[in-house]
C-alpha cells in the first residue's frame, strides 16, 4: 500500500468531503492508493479494505449479483444525490420530449451547490448529517430506526467476516483469529449488544456512515485516531484479513448492499416526507 497523500487526518472524526462524486469516492477510501502489484495480480483478489485503481475488492456494491441498489448507488455519488431520487420524488431526467430526447430538469446544475440542511438550518446537508447529527425530530426518529436495524446487521456482518477471515487464513471454524485485539473484541460485543441507540461519538458516526455507504475500511483508520475506536478497529482488522475470490464474498456483498440500500432509502424518505409536510420539498 502506498502512503495516503492528503486528507487522511480528518476523515474518521468528521463528515467526509462529499461534494462531487470523485471527491466522495476518494474520501470513502481515505485517499489511500494501492500500487498495481498490491492489487491481486498474483492471486486475483485483494483484501476487502484495499482501495486503489483497478481494485474491485473493496467496492462492495460492484461485487453484488445484481445492480439493483438504486438508493445506495445514488448516495455513493455524494451530496448531489440530495437533488435526485430517492431524496426527491422525481428523477433528474424528465420523460423524453416530443423528439424522443430525455432532458434534464431545469435545476439540474443545482445538485453541486452546498446548502444548509433545510430541516434544521444548522449544518451543511449531506447523508452524513442525516445519519448522525440532524436535530430535526423526524431525522432523530429515522436515526433511531437506523440503529435498531444497524446493531443486528453489524452482529451478523461480524459473524460473516469472522467466517471469511478463517477461510482466508485456512483456520478451523472455531479457531481464534490472530491479530484481533481481545480488548477491542470485548468492547465490540458490548456496543453491539447494548439496548437502544448508542451514544453519538466519532466512532458511531464513522460506523453509521461507512456502513451505509457499504465501504470497508482498513484497521489503520481507526488505530491512528483518538479516541479509542475498538469497534471500527475490529471491523477494519477483519476487512484487512479477508481476501478471497470474488465469488466467495458475493453473499457478504449482497447482504451488506441490501441493508445499506434499504436504510438510505428510509433516511431519504423520512427527510422528504418532513420537507413535504413543511411545503419545502424540491
Ligand atoms: Zn439538519
Q: What is the pLDDT of residues 270-279, one digit of tens each?
A: 999 999 999 8
**Residue showing cell 492471486:** 43
DSSP run (H or E) holding 23: helix 21-28
- Tens digit of each residue's pLDDT (9 = 90 or more) over 210-255: 999 999 998 988 877 767 889 999 999 999 999 998 889 999 999 9
pLDDT at residue 197, rounded to an integer: 86
Quote the radius of gyration of the chain (alpha carbons, Å): 19
Block mean pLDDT (10 aa), the chain, length 282:
44 78 86 75 82 68 82 93 88 68 68 89 95 96 96 97 96 92 92 89 93 93 79 94 91 95 97 93 66
Residue 133 C-alpha to ligand 1 middle, in angstroms? Answer: 7
- 11: alpha, beta or left? (left if phi > 0; alpha if psi -120 to 50): alpha
Half-sphere exposure of 244 toward its Cβ, with a 13 Å CA cutoff?
A: 22
pLDDT of residue 53: 64
Looking at residue 81, its pLDDT comes to 92
Residue whose grid cell is 461485487: 63
For residue 137, the CA-to-ligand 1 centroid distance in Å is: 10
Distance 120 CA to ligand 1 centre (A): 4
CA of residue 127 to ligand 1 center, whole Å: 10
Task: Compute, in angstroms, the gap from residue 59 CA to the centroid of ligand 1.
Answer: 29
As a whole number of angstroms, the distance between CA 17 and CA 31 comes to 11
SS3 at position 96: strand
Cα 122 to ligand 1 centre (Å): 6
Cβ atoms of residues 256 and 181 within 8 Å: no
Amino acid at each position: 500500500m502506498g502512503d495516503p497523500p492528503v486528507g487522511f487526518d480528518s476523515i474518521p472524526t468528521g463528515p467526509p468531503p462529499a461534494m462531487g462524486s470523485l471527491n466522495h469516492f476518494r474520501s470513502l477510501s481515505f485517499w489511500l492508493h494501492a500500487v498495481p502489484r498490491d492489487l491481486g495480480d498474483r492471486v486475483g483478489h485483494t483484501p476487502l479494505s484495499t482501495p486503489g485503481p483497478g481494485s474491485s475488492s473493496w467496492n462492495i456494491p460492484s461485487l453484488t449479483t445484481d445492480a439493483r441498489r438504486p438508493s445506495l448507488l445514488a448516495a455513493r455519488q455524494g451530496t448531489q444525490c440530495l437533488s435526485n431520487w430517492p431524496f426527491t420524488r422525481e428523477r433528474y431526467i424528465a420523460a423524453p420530449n416530443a423528439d424522443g430526447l430525455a432532458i434534464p430538469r431545469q435545476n439540474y446544475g443545482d445538485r453541486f451547490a452546498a446548502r444548509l440542511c433545510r430541516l434544521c438550518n444548522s449544518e451543511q446537508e449531506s447523508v452524513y448529517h442525516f445519519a448522525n447529527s440532524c436535530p430535526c425530530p423526524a431525522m432523530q426518529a429515522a436515526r433511531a430506526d437506523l440503529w435498531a436495524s444497524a446493531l443486528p446487521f453489524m452482529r451478523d456482518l461480524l459473524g460473516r467476516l469472522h467466517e471469511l477471515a478463517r477461510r482466508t487464513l485456512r483456520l478451523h471454524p472455531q479457531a481464534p483469529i490472530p491479530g484481533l485485539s481481545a480488548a477491542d473484541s470485548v468492547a465490540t460485543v458490548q456496543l453491539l449488544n447494548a439496548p437502544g441507540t448508542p451514544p453519538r461519538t466519532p466512532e458511531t458516526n464513522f460506523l453509521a456512515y461507512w456502513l451505509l455507504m457499504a465501504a470497508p475500511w482498513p484497521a489503520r483508520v481507526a488505530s491512528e485516531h483518538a479516541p479509542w475506536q475498538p469497534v471500527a478497529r475490529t471491523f477494519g482488522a477483519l476487512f484487512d484479513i479477508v481476501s478471497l475470490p470474488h465469488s466467495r464474498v458475493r453473499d457478504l456483498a449482497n447482504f451488506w448492499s441490501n441493508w445499506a440500500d434499504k436504510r438510505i432509502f428510509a433516511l431519504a424518505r423520512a427527510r422528504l416526507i418532513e420537507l413535504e409536510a413543511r411545503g419545502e420539498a424540491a
